[in-house]
Structure 1
Amino acid sequence: MAAFDTTPFPLVEMQAVANAQNEWLALTVRIAPGFDQAAALHAVFGEPDLLTAIAPLDCILHLASPAILTPALLALMPPHRMIFAIDAGVLGDEALVKHALALHDEGYRVLLDGQPAEGVKVPATLRAVALDCSAGLPVVRGGKYQVLSLFGPHLAHGVHSAQHFAHCTEAGFEWLSGEWPLRPAPSAKPHDGTSRKRLLALLGLLARDAESRELEQLLKQDPALSYHLLKLVNSAAFALSTQITSFGQAINLLGRRQLQRWLQLLLYARQQPDGMANPLLPLAALRAAQLECLCKLQGGERDDQDIAFMTGVFSLLDVLFGMSMEDIVGALGLAPAAAEALLLREGRLGEQLSMVEQRLPASAQLAALGIDNKQWWQSQLHAFHWAIQVGRNL
């Protein structure tokens, strides 16, 4: 009889990687400190769930050393889906350099994470860069920091503001990860008060389960939102043989529950002034899907799951509208659990929202809410799969 495996499932930090147009291209993966890294990687990649859930995106695995990548582990990581971001400190160890070069020869893409020590030679095939930009770009002599475009794509992580985002793209980074969607640049264009009131009114109708005809009347007043709704129902996500041309058809096709969910997300899909995708859209979808999944895993009823989903979507409305969450919640008439979660991060739903916002809560935090590490992992996979699909269809 095989021995019972008592190794705890690891906690994993996952974050989206986008291009300069805010389109998701990959996900970064880091095993949390305190777990046996080799065992953790076998647990995470030992089943096809991760790479299947995030398809077609690539997976960027951050590693301190390539030595951990044994043949058995590499067999779980197809070269066409995996990218290794390896600490640049390995350049001081000849054996580790050979290991990294061997990965390159086997078809894996390798990024050197961090700046090499002064005077250290960098092999020509290891010129792709990953760089922590949380404190800004490095200061260099002779002008601004630049990465060599020839050997990209290059990854800037820790990009936590719109200003950092602009600086990193100017420096040649094609891939970026960080919290910049939550800290947008101040808008030079004043808010359209009429449009914002209309959106809040629509959210209020959705929150109180209004009649379809009321939704239709308000949708007709918002051309951008109307366009996105009809675009959605005619997309590959629904694979219809007949084109949908009216709101009534769209509402009948989606059903009340799905209509409410998609309309909540469509608020983030309004056309940006610069034509780029709204980076808040997939983040709202991510939070919503993870909170819903956690509720379901803990035996929540369907109505409770809907409230959890809505809470996740609405948790970024203050950033979207540039107004206080107190004013937003006051205009919506939400369920008490949702209002408490959004305003105070209190109650079970509020505590779960706080953990979702952290991306890497402690095991003790999860245990306090009756969530084990494996359930958290399942909710992560479900949420990223959903968010990726939303980003591709809206």
Structure 2
Amino acid sequence: MSQVLMARQPIFDRKLNVVAYELLYRSDDQLNVANVVDGHHATSNVLVNAYTSIIENQEPKKLPAFLNLPREMFETDSLPAMARKQLVIEVLEDVEVDQTLLDAVKRYREAGYNIALDDFVYRPEYIPLLKLAHIVKLDVLALGMEGIRASVEQLKPYRITLLAEKVETYAQLQECIELGFKLFQGYFLHRPEIVAGRRLESNEAVLLQILAELNAKEPDTARIAKLIEQDPALTYRLLKIVNSASLALKRQVNDIHEAMIILGLSEIQKWISLLALSGQKTKPTELTRQILTVARLSELIAERSPESQIAPSTAFLCGVLDRLDALLDIDREQLLEQIAVSDEIKLAIRERSGPLGELAGQVQALCEGDWEALTCDSPELYQQCQIEALAWTNDTMALIEPA
């Protein structure tokens, strides 16, 4: 049976709010891609919704999906049966511009869909497409900033929204904003804005000390309780979460020691990780979403893969720490030196070595849609775990985000 794997890449506005997701996919055939947006397949809307639903300010929200369609989709008379405002149709850069394509794009536009031109490079034959497009995506990595500036000048006569893709740094982001871009994609979120000499703040250090102690071979529960109690806000928030209806506990919890007994160390580790992430307000919420999804996905795969020898709690912690440097704006090596986690986790993060490093690399490839690097033997398992991880992230964001 042919298989579709999906990943999502956020699209930001100028304030770094996520306003849409581009859906990346790997399929064994182009017809399978059509099934993703074909309303006759009951699973298509469920699948797309799983990848475009988020929690924002404790409220559920469904974002538009950018989806590039193969040539075959433009040659048919069928239109996707999804809500028009929920789908942006991308025309790939290597598609032949002929009357068949132009008629199809016009048909989509007249039906109410937004049209985006992917990896656009200006050529005269693309002028008819530009007149139909709503959004033009320019590749910063491929064009360079000089090429970007030239392309912006060429596109000024057209009524389009500019989207900068493959933005790698915050400096590139700022320059694109100055050039008039309104939408942005790229890995600039994954990299810390390193401040020379920065050390962890006291509350950050306490949280990481707790995580390290929880990850020890023989955790010292008394020390963990004392560390938690050093931070009154953390104590309050943890007790509030443990007492929440969503955990369905049969009795109220009155202190940290009780919480640790009832939940167990593995669950305490998870919630401390989440609270560490939710306390960071200098970065867009999307980075927290990404880290939570990676952590939960790693945990689920470690738990369900028959051949896995990795403790699910270790996989979860590795997923949290893998991009924590970007969230805390601190050099990765400096971060790893300041926390006492196992060599297994450090090697997995630094070098992608060992079984844990291999798992971390596969999870990264899946989440980023790097299909060439994805070599897993169980794509169905990975996809199911990813959908569950996305849903869990939404539930968790609703619980840990401030109202």
> With structure 2 as the length reference, what TM-score do the two structures score?
0.74
* Structure 1 equivalent of residue 50 of structure 2: 53
1:59–1:82 contact (8 Å) kept in structure 2: yes
One-letter identity of the residue aligned with 2:275: L
Q: Tell me how many residue pairs correspond in the alignment.
A: 378
* Structure 2 equivalent of residue 350 of structure 1: 357
Does 2:288 correspond to 1:281?
A: yes
2:348–2:360 contact (8 Å) kept in structure 1: yes
* Structure 2 equivalent of residue 269 of structure 1: 278
Q: SS at 2:193's partner residue?
A: coil
Identical amino acids, percent of aligned pairs? 24
Q: Pick from 22, 29, 43: which aligns with 1:36?
A: 29
Q: Pick from 182, 197, 208: which aligns with 2:190?
A: 182
Give distance in 1, aligned partners of 2:193 and 2:115: 32
Per mean C-alpha deviation after superposition, the further-off stretch among 158-167 and 123-132 is: 123-132
- Give the CA deviation at 1:313: 1.0
Does 2:32 correspond to 1:26?
A: no
One-letter identity of the residue aligned with 2:33: A
Give distance in 2, aligned partners of 1:182 and 1:134: 16
Give distance in 1, aligned partners of 2:396 and 2:224: 22
- Give the CA deviation at 1:44: 8.0
Give distance in 1, aligned partners of 2:248 and 2:15: 27
- Give the CA deviation at 1:232: 6.4
Report 1:321-360 matches (<5 A): 321=328, 322-325=330-333, 328=336, 331-334=339-342, 337-358=344-365, 359-360=368-369
Structure 1, residues 303-322: CA drift from partner, whole Å, max 9, x if none? Answer: 82222112111212344452
Q: SS at 1:126's partner residue?
A: coil
Structure 1, residues 154-199: CA drift from partner, whole Å, max 9, x if none? Answer: 5332122222222233334443222111223333784355455333
- Give the CA deviation at 1:133: 2.3
Q: SS at 2:356's partner residue?
A: helix
Does 2:68 correspond to 1:62?
A: yes
Q: SS at 1:160's partner residue?
A: coil
Does 2:153 correspond to 1:168?
A: no
CA RMSD of aligned residues (A): 4.3
Does 2:121 correspond to 1:112?
A: no
Per mean C-alpha deviation after superposition, the further-off stretch among 189-198 and 136-145 is: 136-145
Q: SS at 1:178's partner residue?
A: coil
Does 2:319 correspond to 1:312?
A: yes
* Structure 1 equivalent of residue 269 of structure 2: 260
2:79–2:108 contact (8 Å) kept in structure 1: no
Q: SS at 1:39's partner residue?
A: helix
- Give the CA deviation at 1:341: 2.3
Give distance in 2, aligned partners of 1:348 and 1:357: 14
1:286–1:384 contact (8 Å) kept in structure 2: yes
Give distance in 2, aligned partners of 1:38 and 1:20: 36
Does 2:21 correspond to 1:14?
A: no
Q: SS at 1:80's partner residue?
A: helix
* Structure 2 equivalent of residue 203 of structure 1: 211
- Give the CA deviation at 1:201: 1.5
* Structure 1 equivalent of residue 57 of structure 2: none
1:145–1:171 contact (8 Å) kept in structure 2: no
> Unaligned 5+ residue runs, structure 1?
none
One-letter identity of the residue aligned with 2:271: W
Does 2:388 correspond to 1:382?
A: yes
Structure 1, residues 16-50: CA drift from partner, whole Å, max 9, x if none? Answer: 33334444333212334x84222234268642441
* Structure 1 equivalent of residue 298 of structure 2: 291
One-letter identity of the residue aligned with 1:109: N
- Give the CA deviation at 1:89: 6.2
- Give the CA deviation at 1:353: 0.8
Does 2:68 correspond to 1:94?
A: no
2:336–2:346 contact (8 Å) kept in structure 1: no
Give distance in 2, aligned partners of 1:117 and 1:144: 13
Give distance in 2, aligned partners of 1:164 and 1:103: 33
Per mean C-alpha deviation after superposition, the further-off stretch among 101-110 and 18-27 is: 18-27
> With structure 1 as the length reference, what TM-score do the two structures score?
0.75
One-letter identity of the residue aligned with 1:356: V
2:212–2:339 contact (8 Å) kept in structure 1: yes
Per mean C-alpha deviation after superposition, the further-off stretch among 313-322 and 383-392 is: 383-392
Report 1:131-142 matches (<5 A): 131-135=138-142, 136-137=144-145, 138-140=147-149
- Give the CA deviation at 1:151: 5.0
1:14–1:28 contact (8 Å) kept in structure 2: yes
1:14–1:30 contact (8 Å) kept in structure 2: yes
* Structure 1 equivalent of residue 56 of structure 2: none
- Give the CA deviation at 1:143: 8.6
Give distance in 1, aligned partners of 2:260 and 2:154: 51
* Structure 1 equivalent of residue 58 of structure 2: none
In structure 2, relative to structure 1, the CA distance for the partners of 1:355 and 1:11 (3 Å cut) is same
Does 2:117 correspond to 1:74?
A: no
Q: Show structure 1 runs of 4+ deviating over 6 A.
A: 142-150, 230-240, 243-255, 300-303
